């Protein structure tokens, strides 16, 4: 790891010199050690417009075979309108077409509403509360010494679609941090970077700075008090407070090593920003800085629904009902192309931020995997022909600069009425877990009987994806 | 016992018949038994299960605010899981990493803010009393408020040693600040732990008597939703919470305090889902007057109405469902057609009795159970079905079209006609026939709660029928429906069950039926006065006991 080029970094962030970050993330002792790997998920609502995001090239079949093509065409028009904002980063991308959320079809059938099915299955490949999502399993093996095992924010403010797709290793749904609702940034910056030293001349510490300096000592006392009461409780209550005690112990441990983090505290963004601006700053500052400072290695931002004006729909339109649901036809289809092109630009901004941070002989992106993960296959709730867009090689485990097309030739679970599906998306998530060193070959639902009587195998990796 | 369901209960006495009471039930539970169901009292346990309860988010906020009323810290916590809208179910209030982190941060922020104003709350002056003596006094006085009981000698010793050690590394003020930060994360603050008093003679066979301070905590969270005040702690110290009469006197004192108003508002917020209005935006073209200010006013009126009728006023379910009294600001006055107070002010108002009757005819409920263009009869009907009648809400089939018919409707059909058309297939009628009669009663209100006689140029039809209390209700409109609900034993039984569960922190189960029955009898005898229900809870012998259980592993 080498010293950051401060000006380069700040310029890439689009910030005035000195306004944000002193990139003193330097620890020469680790200069030759393997850089940490990071996983960042950008989760967006609804889905892209089927037929208007996929890339094609003459000579490659539309169906009947799996194929890959290099993303090497310098012409931006070689990318569809939906994905064109990502063209500049084509050498760093993996775009995967054709996967199916088969586990959701197995569990929920083909006629369900599918928002709930997607929440259950997008990251965990099973419904409800029975097991962890893949990101949490990666967070188990990629833990920073200080900071946060997992950094999860959502800028939604509506409880109507706020279900979290994240399930912890006990199978419990994980809540996003949403301090301040969609304007969570000031609180998030304080939470993530608050314990870092402030640039400039040392001054008399404030009470909260005194608290942060002694946080592990306070938590040690608190942990001990939980130990004291455990013996007075019933077994069920004891289990509950023991879990609480263990979570305090984890905070205590991480607070104890905060002093080893050599970043300085960035200035907090202003409050009162638009929801879209919050998304942009979260993607281009909060997460890249947190990961550059090794304050977290696994994170997710769950973006709220875009508004009608952003996607070119008439004022007052209900984006969910008026744009997403009818997006198999125009004009809604065009609005949803705009919707997803807007997110593509945000994802491109995230990629640029990671590429702006030098690391080793390359950039932080080389050691990261960024995933743009729409909720559904499309706005009308299909859970097949899903779009996965990824950037970064996860430390060399995943080749980049590719478009991977998987054919839809597998029998569907019961209720599929003869339709054929592509490989289960579970296989991609298993591949990614293995790329991060998670020793698993399955996640969630592992098999089912197809409507033609054959066995659907959801285990193993996605052919041709890993290096 | 995890499963809970509607239980028929015995009206107190020997006769094993009585009104059906549903101490709330879960979605997977069967329909409640019909009124008059005979139950078996032998299924009742002597005292209710009493798991350790983590403070709910609302209780935590109220507790911190009561401890340091002059300290202002802006913070948010992750939301608590809910059951039937209620956020204080002990079995669901488990620790999770983000919450524990937030507790730690909030404690640090509170302590840091409080230390800046230490002279205003510190019970001693270190300069004159000496730092060691003042540290001890701080722990004895402030520690007791936080723990809701005096600290044991061992606890005093541990916290005192910590405080003095931190003082030695920095200064006395820092030692107090960090100790306060630790106290605010202690299990004694965040959880309601009832160890009991093994030396005390139980009044209920096989149960363990609570300590007087544990009884004080039960009272304060029951009536106030926050920790005990100094007067209540002194009653506990003096052993003056032992008899039913003593507890009744204390509950009546507490009910006069504004904290009781806050608790009553909080219960109704959860039960009647006041916050739902924020999730139902309206069409700006159709409702240009419905801006953020009007939405906020409609939301606030719900709180003000509950405070007015349930704390200041009658305090009965009947008043909740039929009162014409409310408070309005200028935005809301226009919607209700009453005189507007000066801008920025709220004023009492009496609404037109032919248009409004109680909470179900107010803008908060009506707009919260409506789509962008029109009210939703199914949502309004199912809400009453579930929350006021404690019946299991039927789930729509997976392929049900849940969009609002008015968005795609054409011609001169009314909202009711559009819904009737949508749900006319036989597969729909089986369920919709059961609750649509409730929902259609609200057709005299549009999606923001304005009263109307015409819908799409056609006369509104708000009539319907509904089967309850063993009879068929003929419903004229929402005002009439509210009046019938207000007189319904089934509603009163349901409300008893909700209160029982709220007080106990757990949904009632079959073994609770005798306690729910006793509460129901008191509730009914008082004319449905919620305050008397609280007195009934607090004066029962079970209130000062918990079951015995094996501790440790």
Choose, out of A211, A213, A321, A380, the residue to mutate when testing the contact with B (most B CBs < 10 Å): A211
Find out whether B296 and B367 touch, Cβ atoms under 8 Å. Answer: no
Cβ separation A207–B182 shorter than 8 A? no
Q: What pLDDT does B113 receive?
A: 96
Nearest residue on chain B to A234, judged by CA atoms?
A: B551
Tell me the average pLDDT across A161-189: 73
A439, burial (CB in 10 Å: exposed 0-12, middle 13-18, buried 19+): exposed
Q: If contacts are CB pairs under 8 Å, which of residues 198-237 in chain A contact chain B? A: 206-208, 210-212, 214-215, 217-219, 221-222, 224-226, 228-237
Contact A214 B178 (CB under 8 A): yes
User: Among all residues of chain A, which has the CA nearest to that of B287?
Assistant: A316
In sequence order, which residues have a C-beta less than 8 Å from that of residue B153 and are 6 or more positions away?
none
Please tell me the least confidently modeled range out of A32-36, A103-107, A226-230: A32-36
Q: Closest partner residue to A222 among B97, B116, B182, by Cβ?
A: B182
pLDDT of the residue at B324: 97
CB-CB contact of B241 with B524 (8 Å): no
The answer to whether B293 contacts chain A (CB < 8 Å) is no
Residues of B in contact with A226 (CB under 8 A): 187
Residue B66 three-state SS:
helix
> Which run of H or E residues covers position A152?
strand A151-154
Closest-CA residue of A relative to B275 is A159
- Please, which pLDDT band fits residue A13 given cuts at 50, 70 and 90? very low
How close, in Å, is residue B294 to chain A by CA atoms? 17
Question: What residue spans define the domains of chain B?
Answer: 53-192, 263-395+412-486
**What does the pLDDT look like over A440-452, one tens digit per residue?**
999 999 999 999 9
Q: In this complex, is the C-beta atom of B195 within 8 Å of any C-beta atom belonging to chain A?
A: yes
- CB proximity B2 to A under 8 Å: no
Which chain B residue has its CA at the smallest distance from A243's CA?
B95
Q: Nearest CA to CA, how far is B310 from chain A (Å)? A: 28
Residue B77 confidence (pLDDT)? 85
> Cα(B50)–Cα(B67) distance, rounded to whole angstroms?
25
Give the pLDDT band (50/70/90) at residue A15.
very low
Chain mean pLDDT for chain A: 86
State residue B550 phi and psi, 5-degree precision: -75, 130
Q: Is the pLDDT of residue A216 over 50?
A: yes
Chain A CB contacts of B553 under 8 Å are 235, 238
pLDDT at A108: 81
Residues of A in contact with B158 (CB under 8 A): 221, 224-225
Residue A330 neighbours by CB under 8 Å, 6+ apart: none
Residue A178, pLDDT > 60, answer no
- The pair phi, psi for residue A4, each rounded to 5°, is -70, 145
Determine, for residues A177 and B78 on separate chains, whether the beta-carbon distance falls below 8 Å.
yes
Which residues of chain B lie closer than 8 angstroms to A238, CB-CB?
Answer: 551-553
Ranges of chain B with pLDDT below 70: 1-40, 397-400, 409-410, 552-553
Once rounded to an integer, what is the mean pLDDT over residues A331-343? 96
- Inspect the interface and report whether the beta carbons of A233 and B283 lie closer than 8 Å: no
- Are the beta carbons of B166 and A214 separated by less than 8 Å? yes
Nearest CA in chain B to A206: B112
Cβ-Cβ contacts under 8 Å, B281 against chain A: 318
B residues 333-392 closer than 8 Å to A (CB): 372
| Inter-chain Cβ pairs, chain A and chain B, closer than 8 A | 154
Q: Are A251 and B159 inside 8 Å of each other by CB? A: no
The DSSP H or E segment spanning A298 is: strand A298-302
Query: Within an 8 Å CB–CB cutoff, is residue A243 touching chain B?
Result: yes
* Tokens standing for residue A337: 């192309």
Nearest residue of chain B to residue A195 (CA atoms): B105
Are residues A243 and B182, on separate chains, in Cβ contact within 8 Å?
A: no
Q: How far is CA A20 from the centre of its chain?
A: 24
**Chain B interface test: which of A233, A255, A256 (most B C-beta within 10 Å):** A233
In angstroms, the separation between the Cα of residue B178 and the nearest Cα of chain A is 6
Query: pLDDT, tens digit, for every residue of A375-402?
Result: 999 988 889 999 999 999 999 999 999 9
Nearest residue of A to residue B53 by CA position? A237
Is B76's CB within 8 Å of A111's CB? Answer: no
**Minimum distance, in Å, between the CA of residue B252 and any CA atom of chain A:** 32
Q: Least CA distance to A108: which residue of chain B?
A: B398
* Chain B interface includes A145 (CB < 8 A): no
Nearest to A211 among B94, B97, B181 (CB): B181
Q: Which residue of B79, B96, B279 is in closest CB contact with A160? A: B279
Please name the member of B170, B188, B549 whose beta carbon is closest to the beta carbon of A234: B549
What's residue B17's pLDDT? 32
In 3D space, the residue among A365, A407, A408 whose CA is nearest the CA of residue A390 turns out to be: A365
E strand or H helix that includes residue B100: helix B97-115
Q: CB within 8 A of B411, min separation 6: which ones?
A: none
pLDDT digits (tens, 9 = 90+) for A17-69: 333 343 443 343 344 457 899 999 999 999 999 999 999 999 999 889 999 99
Please tell me which of the candidates B95, B111, B169 has its beta carbon nearest to residue A243: B95
pLDDT the model gives residue B80: 85
Q: Is B278 on the interface with A (CB under 8 A)?
A: yes
Interface of A with B in 297-336 (CB under 8 A): 315-316, 318, 321, 325
Q: Among partner residues B96, B170, B279, which is closest to A158 by beta-carbon distance?
A: B279
- Given a contact cutoff of 8 angstroms between Cβ atoms, the answer to whether B222 and B215 are in contact is no
Nearest to B116 among A207, A215, A224 (CB): A207
Phi, psi of A411 (to 5 degrees): -60, 145
Task: Select the more confidently predicted residue: A318 or A77.
Answer: A77
B306 and B265 Cβ atoms separated by less than 8 Å: yes
d(CA A424, CA A447): 10
Min Cα separation B38/chain A (Å): 33
Q: Are B534 and B222 contacting, i.e. CB atoms less than 8 angstroms apart?
A: yes
Beta carbons within 8 Å of A184's beta carbon, 6+ residues apart = A153, A155, A177, A178, A278
Q: Number of H helices and number of E strands within chain B?
A: 24, 12
Residue of A nearest to B196 (CA): A232
Say how far apart CA A429 and CA A446 lie, in whole Å.
13
**Residues with Cβ within 8 Å of residue A145, at least 6 apart in sequence:** A254, A257, A260, A294
Chain A residues with CB under 8 Å of B95 CB are 240-241, 243-244, 247
How many other CB atoms sit within 10 Å of the CB of residue A112?
19
Q: In this structure, what token pair is assigned to residue B21? A: 């009471």
Q: Is A170 on the interface with B (CB under 8 A)?
A: no
Query: β-strands A368-374, A38-44: how paired?
Result: parallel
Biggest CA pair distance of chain B: 84
- Among B167, B181, B111, B109, which residue's Cα sits nearest to residue B134? B167
Q: Which of B100, B155, B551 sits opposite A251 (nearest CB)?
A: B100
> What are the pLDDT digits (tens) for B57-82?
999 999 999 999 999 998 878 888 88
């Amino acid at each position: 790891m080498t010293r950051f080029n401060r000006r380069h970094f700040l310029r890439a962030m689009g910030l005035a010199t000195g306004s944000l970050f002193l990139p003193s993330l330097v620890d020469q002792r680790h200069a030759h050690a393997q850089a940490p790997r990071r996983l960042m998920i950008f989760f967006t609502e609804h889905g892209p417009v089927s037929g208007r995001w996929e890339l094609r090239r003459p000579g490659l079949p539309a169906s009947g075979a799996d194929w890959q093509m290099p993303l090497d065409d310098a012409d931006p028009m070689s990318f569809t309108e939906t994905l064109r904002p990502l063209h500049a980063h084509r050498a760093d991308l993996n775009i995967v077409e054709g996967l199916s959320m088969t586990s959701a079809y197995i569990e929920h059938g083909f006629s369900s509403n599918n928002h709930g099915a997607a929440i259950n299955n997008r990251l965990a490949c099973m419904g409800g509360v029975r097991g962890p999502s893949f990101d949490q399993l990666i967070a188990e093996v990629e833990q920073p010494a200080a900071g946060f095992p997992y950094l999860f924010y959502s800028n939604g403010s509506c409880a109507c679609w706020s279900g979290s797709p994240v399930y912890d290793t006990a199978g419990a749904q994980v809540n996003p941090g949403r301090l301040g609702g969609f304007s969570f940034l000031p609180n998030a910056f304080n939470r993530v970077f608050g314990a870092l030293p402030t640039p400039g001349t040392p001054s008399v510490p404030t009470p909260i700075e005194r608290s942060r300096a002694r946080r592990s000592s306070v938590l040690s006392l608190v942990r001990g008090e939980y130990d004291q009461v455990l013996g007075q409780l019933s077994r069920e209550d004891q289990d509950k407070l023991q879990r609480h005690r263990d979570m305090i112990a984890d905070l205590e441990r991480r607070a104890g090593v905060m002093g080893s983090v050599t970043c300085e505290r960035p200035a907090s963004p202003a409050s009162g920003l638009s929801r879209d601006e919050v998304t942009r700053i979260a993607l281009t500052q909060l997460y890249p800085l947190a990961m550059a400072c090794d304050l977290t290695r696994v994170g997710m931002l769950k973006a709220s629904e875009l508004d009608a004006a952003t996607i070119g729909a008439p004022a007052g339109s209900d984006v969910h009902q008026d744009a997403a649901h009818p997006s198999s036809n125009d004009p809604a289809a065009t609005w949803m192309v705009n919707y997803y092109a807007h997110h593509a630009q945000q994802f491109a901004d995230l990629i640029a931020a990671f590429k702006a941070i030098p690391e080793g002989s390359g950039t932080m992106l080389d050691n990261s995997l960024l995933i743009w993960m729409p909720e559904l296959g499309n706005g009308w709730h299909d859970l097949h022909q899903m779009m996965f867009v990824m950037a970064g090689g996860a430390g060399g485990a995943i080749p980049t600069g590719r478009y991977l097309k998987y054919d839809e030739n597998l029998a569907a679970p019961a209720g599929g009425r003869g339709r054929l599906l592509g490989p289960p998306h579970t296989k991609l998530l298993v591949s990614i877990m293995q790329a991060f060193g998670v020793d698993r070959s399955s996640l969630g639902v592992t098999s089912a009987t197809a409507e033609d009587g054959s066995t659907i195998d959801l285990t193993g990796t996605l052919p041709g994806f890993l290096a | 016992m995890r499963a809970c369901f509607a239980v028929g209960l015995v009206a107190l006495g020997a006769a094993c018949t009585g009104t059906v009471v549903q101490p709330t039930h879960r979605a997977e539970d069967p329909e409640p038994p019909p009124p008059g169901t005979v139950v078996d009292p032998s299924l009742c346990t002597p005292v209710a299960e009493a798991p350790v309860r983590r403070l709910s988010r609302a209780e935590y906020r109220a507790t911190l605010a009561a401890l340091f009323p002059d300290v202002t810290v802006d913070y948010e916590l992750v939301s608590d899981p809910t059951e039937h809208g209620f956020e204080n179910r002990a079995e669901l209030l488990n620790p999770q990493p983000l919450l524990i982190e937030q507790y730690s941060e909030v404690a640090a922020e509170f302590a840091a803010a409080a230390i800046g104003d230490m002279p205003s709350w510190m019970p001693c002056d270190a300069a004159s009393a000496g730092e060691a003596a003042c540290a001890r006094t701080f722990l004895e006085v402030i520690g007791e408020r936080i723990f809701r009981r005096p600290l044991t000698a061992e606890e005093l010793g541990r916290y005192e040693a910590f405080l003095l050690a931190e003082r030695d590394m920095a200064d006395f003020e820092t030692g107090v600040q960090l100790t306060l930060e630790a106290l605010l994360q202690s299990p004694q603050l965040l959880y309601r732990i009832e160890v009991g008093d093994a030396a005390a003679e139980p009044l209920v066979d096989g149960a363990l008597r609570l300590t007087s301070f544990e009884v004080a905590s039960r009272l304060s969270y029951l009536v106030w939703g926050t920790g005990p005040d100094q007067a209540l702690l002194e009653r506990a110290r003096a052993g003056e919470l032992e008899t039913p009469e003593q507890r009744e006197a204390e509950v009546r004192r507490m009910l006069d305090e504004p904290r009781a108003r806050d608790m009553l508002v909080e219960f109704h917020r959860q039960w009647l889902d006041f916050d739902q209005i924020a999730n139902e935006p309206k069409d700006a073209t159709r409702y240009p007057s419905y801006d953020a200010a009007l939405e906020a006013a409609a939301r606030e009126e719900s709180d003000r109405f509950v405070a007015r009728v349930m704390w200041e006023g009658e305090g009965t379910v009947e008043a909740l469902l039929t009162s014409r009294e409310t408070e309005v600001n200028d935005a809301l006055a226009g919607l209700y057609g009453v005189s507007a107070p000066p801008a920025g002010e709220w004023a009492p108002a009496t609404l037109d009795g032919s248009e409004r009757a109680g909470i179900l005819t107010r803008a908060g409920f009506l707009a919260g159970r409506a789509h962008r263009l029109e009210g939703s009869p199914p949502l309004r009907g199912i809400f009453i079905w579930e929350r006021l009648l404690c019946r299991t809400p039927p789930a729509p089939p997976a392929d049900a079209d849940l969009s609002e018919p008015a968005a795609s409707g054409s011609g001169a059909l009314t909202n009711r006609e559009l819904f009737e058309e949508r749900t006319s297939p036989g597969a729909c009628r089986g369920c919709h026939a059961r609750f649509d009669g409730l929902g259609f009663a609200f057709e005299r209100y549009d999606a923001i709660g304005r009263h109307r006689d015409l819908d799409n140029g056609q006369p509104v039809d708000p009539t319907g029928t509904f089967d309850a209390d063993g009879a068929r209700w003929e419903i004229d409109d929402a005002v009439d429906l509210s009046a019938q609900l207000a007189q319904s034993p089934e509603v009163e039984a349901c409300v008893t069950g909700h209160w029982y569960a709220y007080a106990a922190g757990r949904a009632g189960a079959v073994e609770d039926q005798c306690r729910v029955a006793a509460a129901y009898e008191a509730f009914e005898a008082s004319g449905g006065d919620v305050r008397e229900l609280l007195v009934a809870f607090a004066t029962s012998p079970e209130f000062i006991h918990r079951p015995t259980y094996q501790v440790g592993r």
